[in-house]
Amino acid sequence: MRRKIWLDGAIVEEAEAKISVFDHGLLYGDGIFEGIRFYEGRVFRLGEHIERLFLSAKALLLKMPWSHGEICEAILETIRANGLTDGYIRLVVTRGKGDLGLNPYLCPEPSMFVIASAITLYPAEFYENGLEVVTCSTRRPTPASLSPQVKSLNYLNNVMAKVEALKAGAKEGLMLNEQGYVAECTGDNVFVVKKGEVLTPPVSDGSLDGITRQVIFDLCEELGISIRESSLTRYDIYTADEAFLTGTAAETIPMVKLDEREIGDGKPGPVSLKLIAAFRKKVRSEGTVI
């Protein structure tokens, strides 16, 4: 079955989903995006994702001609058009067509497209046995240059870190900030467990305040597990009892080794497994009906 794409107000065939070569999203990475999951006919945390999209737009002075409700309906329409009940949404808003200069005010109107598709970020065995991760030399940009809370199309920093990880034979790479503290992985937030307490870097250390990250805070409260933000170094991960990663695409996945050091006993730990099970239950029982 050929995919159908929502593009600027209409559902079109994948082959017809085209943007201009003068689009500033293509030329300069001038745009924003959201990755959203849907499970068993429900879109998980749709409102939170669209709220974050509008915050990213505001930070970039990108005027949105669509309302919150219109974007939600575009997402639901795209899923229905593709006959899907489980999958992944990629929602992209670009500055739109302009000229070859940087001036964003020469782009008269933004462009938006929505893709609905299946996704498998990591093979199933990694969710059972855990990921081996390496530290990348590529650092996260300082928040003084571009806030990590803006989900912009400028992902080259993450791409190059991902290349490092893959070249080293790992599926994921850990990224540090300029001060040497843990920021996040190339596409995931990082959590460790020490003496039963869950720790994760504050967003001020360079991580995105991920939607799934927030779900973990909610689940810890529901399950009576202590959780707090704390600046982390690689040493803190090396010596942790457990570790796991979270992200919309990755969901929740154990991390069992960093830079050849086994974390804990080198297997997914009980706290991680408890949170992973609770997460899987939550995403299949909550959400906006398609």
Q: What does the pLDDT read at residue 20? A: 97
Say what percent of the chain tops pLDDT 90. 95
pTM, full prediction? 0.95
CATH number at residue 10: 3.30.470.10
Angle among Cα 229, 235, 237 to the nearest 5 degrees reads: 55
Domain assignment present for residue 290? The answer is no
Q: Are residues 108 and 151 in the same domain?
A: no
Q: Is residue 288 part of a domain?
A: no
Does 197 lie in the same domain as 151?
Answer: yes
Q: Are 141 and 157 in contact (CB under 8 A)?
A: yes
Assess if residue 258 is contained within a domain. yes
Question: Are 80 and 128 within one domain?
Answer: no
Of the three residues 60, 88, 117, the one that is the final residue of a domain is 117
In the predicted model, what is the mean pLDDT of residues 217-223?
98
Separation CA 170–CA 193 (nearest Å): 22
Where in the sequence is the domain holding 144, given as residue range(s)? 124-283
In terms of domains, do 135 and 26 share one? no
Residue 289 in any domain: the answer is no
Q: How far apart are CA 151 and CA 143, in angstroms?
A: 13
Q: Which positions are annotated as active-site residues?
A: 151
Which helix (H) or strand (E) segment holds residue 160: the answer is helix 156-167
Per-residue pLDDT of 117-163, as tens digits, reads 988 878 889 999 999 999 999 999 888 888 999 999 999 999 999 99
Write 163-168 long-range contacts (CB < 8 A, 24+): 164/134, 164/136, 164/137, 164/138, 165/133, 165/134, 165/136, 168/134
106/103 Cα distance (integer angstroms): 6
What does the mean pLDDT of the chain come to?
A: 96
Query: Which residue has 């559902």 as its token pair?
Result: 11
CATH code: domain of residue 215: 3.20.10.10
* Residue 27 CA: distances (Å) to CA of 6, 62, 94, 154: 21, 16, 10, 11
Query: Could you tell me if 42 and 139 lie in one domain?
Result: no
Per-residue pLDDT of 239-273, as tens digits, reads 999 999 999 999 999 999 999 999 999 999 999 99
Looking at the structure of the chain, the number of domains it has is 2
Q: Would you mind telling me the total number of residues written for the chain in this entry?
A: 290
One domain, residues 275 and 143: yes
- Is residue 1 pLDDT above 80, yes or no? no
What the block records as the tokens of 231 is 């600046």
Residues 261 and 170 in one domain: yes
Residue 214 located in a structural domain:
yes
Confidence of residue 14 (pLDDT cuts 50, 70, 90): very high
Using one digit for the tens of pLDDT, what is the confidence trace for 78-130?
A: 999 999 999 999 999 999 999 999 999 999 999 999 999 988 878 889 999 99
